[in-house]
Amino acid sequence: MSISRQSSLPAWTGTESYIADESLQAIVNVGVGLGRPLLVKGEPGTGKTLLAYAVAEGLKLPLITWHIKSTTRAQDGLYLYDTVARLNDSRFGDHDVRDIAQYIKLGPLGEAFARSQAGERVVLLIDEIDKADIEFPNDLLHELDAMRFTIAETGKEIRAEVRPIVIITSNAEKELPDAFLRRCVFHYIEFPDEGQLQRICRVHHPDVDEKLLAAALRKFVQLRTIPDLRKKPTTSELIDWLSSLRLSGIDAAKLEATLPFAGVLLKQENDTQRVNRASSMRR
């Protein structure tokens, strides 16, 4: 694997709507430069998945997404051979079924390799890799390392000429195997502090009333400090909450004493009760 900076690409600095701190910018650029997959973890709502979209947008590259489910297998990412369609065509179709290639459908990983075989650099998002079986990452090791695979049925090799930028997200539902982790650049996105939250909110609500924003942020940060919440409210919920507050035209002063639209922020019944208890104690 060559290590030299892929000079054709400019450094990534975030986008207008995706605010990345310096360390995240540096890490993305190192990952791209080293040609290694970037593994991103972090609390829900810290923008793990959006990072891939932002990298693609910022570097003006096409994005291929692969959303992992509990039933996803590594093979699904490479290609599928639609035997049933071929069988069906052999009976009822007017195709020439001797050409197997027309029944090979590339998966997201396969497509990313194939496009970069043609010299196009792409960003590949492997979203929520921990959703799959615990052996899943191991099954991908070879393909991610070598950036090539062979379609057994046709003998055709798909080989990435320029390494795609691979961004992998994980919610830490399962631990990932060591061998896999060794090959990744790892980053944990911290929950944004109040200043960053303010910037993020301004991006999504550019014309928000200053007082309302300040009051909402104060309330939100306070909520997150309540211990033992089963699901702490996240950035995306904060943005939704702000929309609700603005739509209903609630006065900033009213936010001090009450928590309107609590359901937008708190999704667990226990949490709602806990918050009510905490706020009644404060009074």
Partner 1 sequence: MFEGFHSVLRLAGLKVGVGEWLTVTQALDAGLIGPSLKEFYSTSRALVCRDEADYDKFDQAFASFFQGAALPTPVTQMLQSWLDDPLVKPPLTPQELEELPHYDLEQLRKLYEERLTEQTERHDGGSKWIGTGGTSPFGQGGEHPTGMRVGEGASGRGQAIAAARARRFRNYRDDIVLDTRQLAVAVRRLRRLERKSRRLELDMPETIRKTAANGGDIEIVERPERRNQARVVLMLDAGGSMDPHVRSVQAFFSAMKQGGGLREVEAYYFHNCVYADVYSDMALLKKKPLAELTRSVPPNTNLVMVGDAWMAPRELFSPYGSIEYGTTDEVPAIDRLRELGAAFPKRVWLNPIPENYWGESTIRAVGEIVPMFPMTVEGMVAAVQVLLGRGDRVAKRAPKRPWPAPQDLW
- Provide the binding-site residues for partner 1, judged by CB under 8 A: 3-5, 22-24, 26-27, 29-31, 33-34, 41, 84, 87-88, 91, 134, 173-178, 181-182, 184-188, 190
Closest CA to 158 of 85, 104, 82: 104
At 175, the amino acid letter reads: E
DSSP string, 197-213: HHHHHHHH-TT--HHHH
Q: Which is nearer to partner 1, 1 or 257 (CB)?
A: 1
User: Cβ closer to partner 1: 91 or 98?
Assistant: 91
Retrieve residue 11's tokens. 């450094």
Residue with tokens 């051979």: 81
> Sign of dihedral through CA atoms 73, 74, 78, 83?
negative
CB of 174 to partner 1, least distance (A): 6
- Give phi and psi for 38, each to the nearest 5: -105, 120
Residues 6+ apart with CB under 8 A from 112: 64, 122, 124, 160, 164, 166
Name the minimum Å distance from CB 184 to partner 1. 8
CB of 238 to partner 1, least distance (A): 21
Whole-number minimum distance, CB 182 to partner 1, in Å? 7
Is residue 182 a contact partner of residue 138, using CB atoms and an 8 Å limit?
Answer: no
To partner 1, the closest distance from the beta carbon of 57 in angstroms equals 22
What's the closest the beta carbon of residue 33 comes to partner 1, in angstroms? 4
Closest CB to partner 1 among 108 and 137?
Answer: 137
Cα dihedral value 246, 247, 252, 257, nearest 10: -130
Quick count: other Cβ atoms within 10 Å of Cβ 227? Answer: 6
In terms of CB distance, is 99 or 173 closer to partner 1?
A: 173
In the complex with partner 1, which residue's Cβ is closer, 170 or 235? 170
Nearer to partner 1, 37 or 108 (CB): 37
